[in-house]
């Protein structure tokens, strides 16, 4: 018997097992959310973006090294032409246990059923407001009704879970925490609140709009008898149960409760750059190896294993700083 059969290859220098990748398949998006990108965002030339076949090859290698969860992100992943081909291929990949997509919901009305049939198990939908005018102002172009119809289509498609992701901003939508949770309960959905992160030169002062999850939790507990839960979906969220409902409320808190000690994930950009930490600039460019060795995965495998060993211990997000912690935009790293 080979004693090394069950030893995971992707272990970082702090003993953490990396079994989760977030893969961006496009930096393009049909929205221009104010916390994510500038209105006149310049996207990458298409020849700098990997092909769907190259994404599949990368995921296949990561899965062979012990990765069990893959989240497809963007930009908006569902605007990528022929993206469904990739979802279908990944859905058939032996060893991949959890295929998830994060979306703004704009394309879900027409794609939810096909995504479920492809093998996507869970869907996260960004929803920052239930007011149509405010939703349009936050996204700059989005239509709330379209997203709500997409959420309904996702519910009907039969995913294991449909979850809402919400980012609250002071003076913009921080009065919607309770209404959004009430909507999630009424729809039988989960919801997670994500603290705003200082990424990219978005033209607003992050510290003036930052809302801590501690504030949000305190507000929600004034309305709901939330029960702390040890449940996990393999990511950084900490969950609370709403009694007598099917809803969990999650909090992703990179500022107020740094979750680095249990970090199990890395990110791959649409250019093939491997980011070992969302809050650090260190990266490894896998694209040259993809192209230099089209029929040999060993150089890529070795590069990935070595990279993971250099994964940083953690990030440094300070909500009071005026400058971004990282210069790249969220849409460039992938959700």
> Lowest-confidence range among 57-71, 123-137, 246-260?
246-260
pLDDT mean over 167-182: 97
What global pTM score does this model have? 0.88
The confidence band for 179, taking pLDDT boundaries of 50, 70 and 90, is very high
Query: What value does the mean pLDDT take over residues 110-131?
Result: 98
Greater confidence (241 vs 321) lies with 241
pLDDT confidence of residue 233 = 73
Percent of the residues in the chain that have a pLDDT greater than 70, as a whole number: 86
Q: pLDDT over 90 for what percent of the chain?
A: 73
> Residue 8: its pLDDT value, please?
55
CB 18 within 8 A of CB 70: no
- Angle of the 144-157 helix axis to the 132-139 helix axis, nearest 10: 90
pLDDT in tens, 140-156: 999 999 999 999 999 99
Instruction: Kindly report which listed range (16-30, 159-173, 230-244) carries the lowest average pLDDT score.
Output: 230-244
pLDDT band at 320 (very low <50, low <70, confident <90, very high): very low
Q: Which of 205, 198, 172, 202 is nearest to 37 (CA)?
A: 202
pLDDT bracket for residue 2 (50, 70, 90): very low
Q: What are the φ and ψ backbone dihedral angles of 151, each rounded to 5 degrees?
A: -65, -40
Instruction: Share the mean pLDDT of the chain.
Output: 88
Q: Categorize the per-residue pLDDT at 334 as very low, low, confident or very high, splitting at 50, 70 and 90.
A: low
Q: What angle do CA 5, 71, 20 make, to 5 degrees?
A: 30
Q: State pLDDT tens for residues 197-246.
A: 765 454 444 568 899 999 999 999 999 999 999 887 777 789 999 999 99
Contacts of 83 (CB under 8 A, 6+ apart): 25, 52, 72, 77
CATH number 3.40.50.2000 given to 20-333: no
pLDDT tens track for 28-70:
999 999 988 888 888 999 999 999 999 999 999 999 999 999 9
pLDDT band, residue 262 (cuts 50/70/90): confident
Please state the φ and ψ torsions of residue 187, each to the nearest 5 degrees.
-95, -5
């Amino acid at each position: 018997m080979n004693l090394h059969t069950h030893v995971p290859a992707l272990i970082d220098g702090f003993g953490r097992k990396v079994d989760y990748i977030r893969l961006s398949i496009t930096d393009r998006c049909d929205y221009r959310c104010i916390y994510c990108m500038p209105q006149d965002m310049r996207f990458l030339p298409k020849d700098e973006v990997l092909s769907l076949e190259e994404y599949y090859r990368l995921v296949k290698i990561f899965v062979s090294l012990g990765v069990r969860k893959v989240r497809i992100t963007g930009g908006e992943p569902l605007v990528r032409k022929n993206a469904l081909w990739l979802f279908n291929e990944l859905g058939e990949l032996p060893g991949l246990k959890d295929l998830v997509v994060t979306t703004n919901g704009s394309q879900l009305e027409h794609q939810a059923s096909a995504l479920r049939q492809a093998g996507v198990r869970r869907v996260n939908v960004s929803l920052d407001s239930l007011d149509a005018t405010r939703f349009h102002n936050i996204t700059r172009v989005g239509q709330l009704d379209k997203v709500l119809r997409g959420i309904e289509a996702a519910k009907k498609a039969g995913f294991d879970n449909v979850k809402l992701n919400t980012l609250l901003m002071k003076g913009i939508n921080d009065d919607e925490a309770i209404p959004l949770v009430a909507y999630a309960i009424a729809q039988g959905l989960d919801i997670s609140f994500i603290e705003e992160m200082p990424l990219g030169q978005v033209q607003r002062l992050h510290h003036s709009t930052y809302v801590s999850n501690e504030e949000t939790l305190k507000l929600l507990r004034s309305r709901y008898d939330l029960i702390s839960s040890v449940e996990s979906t393999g990511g950084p969220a900490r969950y609370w149960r709403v009694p007598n409902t099917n809803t969990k409320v999650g909090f992703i808190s990179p500022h107020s409760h740094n979750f680095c000690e249990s970090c199990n994930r890395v990110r791959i950009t649409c250019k093939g750059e491997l980011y070992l930490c969302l809050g650090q600039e260190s990266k490894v460019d896998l694209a040259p190896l993809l192209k230099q060795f089209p029929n040999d995965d060993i150089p890529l495998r070795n590069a990935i294993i070595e990279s993971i060993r250099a994964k940083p211990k953690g990030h440094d997000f300070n909500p009071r700083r005026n400058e971004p912690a990282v210069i790249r935009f969220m849409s460039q790293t992938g959700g």
